[in-house]
Amino acid sequence: MGRIITLLLILIINLPFSLQAKNKTFKVIAQDIEYAFYKKEKLVWKFKASVFKERSDNICEAIKIIIINLQKNLKIIADKGFYNRKKDKFLLIGKVHLFTQKFGEVFTDELIYFPKQGLIITDKKVLVKKKGLIAKGKGLIYKIDTGDFQIKEKPRIKFSL
């Protein structure tokens, strides 16, 4: 009888924690999703993912993600990404590849993108390639609207003719 009461107490104590953990699990919403956002009948955004999942706390997860902002001439490809709807923030991880028209291509392992703020940042190592230029360093700040683009730490630049 004592064992049954002990098991019931353990179950009662752990039940709220297990229910809370269940609410934080991702639910698959779509596979091979493509989303387009138009403003005044003009295509502004494109979003593609092979798998798109959502959690109850407004966090979304995407696998094999592609984000294209046509107004800003910006494209981001990543192995995996998370989007926080409340903060309007993308966390892109894995092999992350950022294409910019003005500054070339950026390769890194993690990128944080705030679309409404027009800000892209990382504290990870970056490799920037542009015709005739290769730059390496740690960290990146890219203010899209102002065009301010800088490698934060230890920038090393190679020029080729």
What whole-number distance in Å separates Cα of residue 108 and Cα of residue 92? 10
Q: What is the pTM of this model?
A: 0.77
Contact 43, 68 (CB under 8 A): no
Contact 77, 88 (CB under 8 A): no
Q: How many CA atoms lie within 13 A of 7 on its CB side?
A: 4
102: region left, alpha or beta (phi > 0 left; psi from -120 to 50 alpha): alpha
Contact 113, 100 (CB under 8 A): no
In the chain, which residues have pLDDT < 70? 1-24, 26-29, 161
- Delimit the domains of the chain by residue range: 25-159
What was the pLDDT predicted at 27? 65
The sign of the CA dihedral 135, 140, 143, 146 is: negative
What was the pLDDT predicted at 112? 93
Residue owning tokens 């294209």: 68
What was the pLDDT predicted at 24? 63
The sign of the CA dihedral 113, 118, 122, 128 is: positive
What was the pLDDT predicted at 11? 45
CATH fold of 25-159 reads lipopolysaccharide transport protein A fold (2.60.450)
Closest CA relative to residue 98, chosen from 84, 109, 85: 109
Contact 151, 142 (CB under 8 A): no
Q: How many CA atoms lie within 13 A of 12 on its CB side?
A: 6
Contact 149, 142 (CB under 8 A): yes
